[in-house]
Amino acid sequence: MKILSRFKSSPAGTAAVTGVARLERDNLQLSRKLKTGEIAVIDHIDIDRTHAEALVDRGVRAVINVSPSTSGRYPNLGPQILAHAGIILVDHVGPGIWSKLKTGDSIGLEEGNVLLAGKVIATGTELDDAKISGLLKSAQSGLSTQLGSLAANTAEHLRREQAMILEGAGIPRLRTKIRNRPVVVVSKTHDYVSDLDGLRDYIKKYDPILIGAGAGADALLDAGYTPALVVGTLDDVSDRALKLSGEVVITSAPGKLTAVERLERTGADAQTFVATGSAEDLALVVADTNDASVIVLVGGHTSLVEFLDRGPTDMSSTFLARLRVGTKLVDAKVVGEFYNHRISVWPILLLLLLGVLAVGTALAVTPVGGSWFDGIGLQLRNIFDWIQGLFS
């Protein structure tokens, strides 16, 4: 990935950073259209970690946000991800930029100013590490409010999806035989590359069912694995994943039509799962309902801040999905830590052998030990003579 380079000083009228603008209000469409080196113009209040990582993966030169990147409601992780990747973030430039700029325009950024043809068309705040740290510290006080929002949203989600969550209604029964087998669910977020790499020994030994949650199917394919199942919306699942995965479950919200023609084009024989929630959450529910023995989650959310960073709708879905799955769910980092640091049996056997040799050496120099070894030597000679007599 090409990382942004900044000049120490700029001549008068020359921007410190230049690039081609890419305007898109829809985050999913933006991540698909972005090209390396472009400047992304977004409208995303409280940039979360998932979308920040998508911007980093696409190799953007800089990000201009129409809305506050951190509103203070909770300490969201997105701005910090961008800063650590060396990507400039110009914050809260206001909605007027939509009418002054279009995709394909060559623009410049300097100290929070957005320049088009050398003229300032919008002004925001360039967020560096120090400013982001200050905003996150101030946002800590918003956690209690977010927890209250979680309770309300969870109650509403449970009311809307209670038949599915409590009784398993509408959850697909798979052709893939999952019953009493371990499952690995891969979500393409939060250190998924290192998580998946840490599971290589586990996958080799136990041969678990591999499930891609949305773009997680591509993560599996990129790592050299073939997903037995992919679960997600058609917006999340690539044509490659549709063609190569063993089984496909397409999720959609109630009343939302599925693009049947795309499924026909790829030849995918898919089931539909009508429910609200992220691909990761619904993949967990599908695996649990089909009686997986244990579910290892790659790229999952492990901390309170990461949990809240999902936004009000997804965090209630995540909470209830994990509540349903219960003790079956294990984070990939835990499994990887166990397998990558387990003690091999060979060093233990070597230590035991050295111990036996040490004891034997000590006994050999004593009168009792000498007599004992003489007796063993005599027995071995008798056995050797007996074997020799069988072939004479």
Lowest mean pLDDT among 145-154, 262-271, 357-366: 357-366
Spatial distance between the Cα atoms of 30 and 35, rounded to a whole number of angstroms:
10
pLDDT confidence bin for 269, thresholds 50/70/90: confident
Nearest Cα to Cα of residue 89 among 114, 67, 113, 63: 63
Instruction: Check residue 380 and give its pLDDT.
Output: 60
Q: Which of 39-48, 66-75, 339-348 has the lowest mean pLDDT?
A: 339-348
Who wins on pLDDT, 63 or 338?
A: 63
pLDDT digits (tens, 9 = 90+) for 120-168: 999 999 999 889 988 888 887 777 777 777 778 788 888 888 888 888 8
- Output 235 or 291, whichever has higher pLDDT: 291
Percent of the chain with pLDDT over 90: 44
Helix (H) or strand (E) run with residue 239 in it? helix 239-244
10 Å Cβ neighbour count for 339? 16
> Crossing angle, helix 279-289 and helix 312-325, to 10 degrees?
20
pLDDT digit string (tens) for 65-119?
Answer: 999 999 888 888 899 999 999 999 999 999 999 999 999 999 999 999 999 999 9
Q: What's the confidence (pLDDT) of residue 2?
A: 37
CB 150 within 8 A of CB 315: yes
Class of domain 142-340: alpha beta
For every residue of 345-372, DSSP letters joined together read HHHHHHHHHHHHHHHHHHHHTSHHHHHH
The position carrying tokens 């050999």 is 364
Distance in angstroms (rounded) separating the CA atoms of residues 114 and 120: 6
Q: What is the pLDDT of residue 174?
A: 94
Is residue 363 within 8 A of residue 372, CB to CB? The reply is yes
Residue type, 95: P
Average pLDDT on 209-220 reads 95
CATH topology classification for 17-127 = Aconitase; domain 4 (3.20.19)
Separation CA 43–CA 23 (nearest Å): 9
Distance, CA of 169 to chain centre = 28
Contacts 24+ apart (CB under 8 A), 235-238: 235/28, 236/28, 236/279
Task: Check residue 59 and give its pLDDT.
Answer: 93
213 has a pLDDT exceeding 90:
yes
Which H helix or E strand runs over 185?
strand 182-187
**Any idea where the domains of the chain sit in the sequence?**
17-127, 142-340
